[in-house]
Amino acid sequence: REPEGFLGADISTGMLAQAQNKYPGYGFVQKDARTPFKGSWDTVLAIFGLVNYVGLDVVLARFKEVEASKLFMVMFAPQYAPSIVNTELHHYSAHQVREKLCGMSVGITGLTFPIPGDNGLSINALYETQKALAGNLEGCNYWVVDARA
């Protein structure tokens, strides 16, 4: 099902150009997540480590501004920092995430991205590895947070 009323926002003009090329029917704006956002949406997606770059309080402020009922985030696990990142990151424990999202129904799932072929992993072995890791946040590089008001 195609989303209705979708608006994508990114600070990077390069990422916006790629998104507009891939999804020409959707709207996109250049926007710094640290600045207020006007509009009303039912769901806020904060992915690619946005929470770690700007902080959970900033993401929650944007979530509240648009009066959304769902917040979906993909964030770096506390022990993980991609080698390409050259800035200080905000890291949170699962307890801190749940505490900040107090009053919401919160699910946190571990996620990692081993590459097929690494250590001889087939697609099926990769799937089974991911399935095994999903119940354990410890060995994962990313956390998927699904929060609902």
Mean pLDDT, 10 residues at a time, the chain of 149 residues? 81 93 91 92 90 96 94 92 89 95 92 59 66 68 91
Question: Measuring CA to CA, which residue among 146, 141, 114 is closest to residue 46?
Answer: 146
Calpha distance 127→56 (Å, rounded): 30
pLDDT value for 141: 84
Calpha distance 19→51 (Å, rounded): 20
pLDDT value for 139: 74
pLDDT value for 123: 65
Helix (H, G, I), strand (E, B) or coil at 143: strand
Cα–chain center distance at 75: 5
pLDDT value for 121: 62
pLDDT value for 53: 95
Q: What is the pTM of this model?
A: 0.80
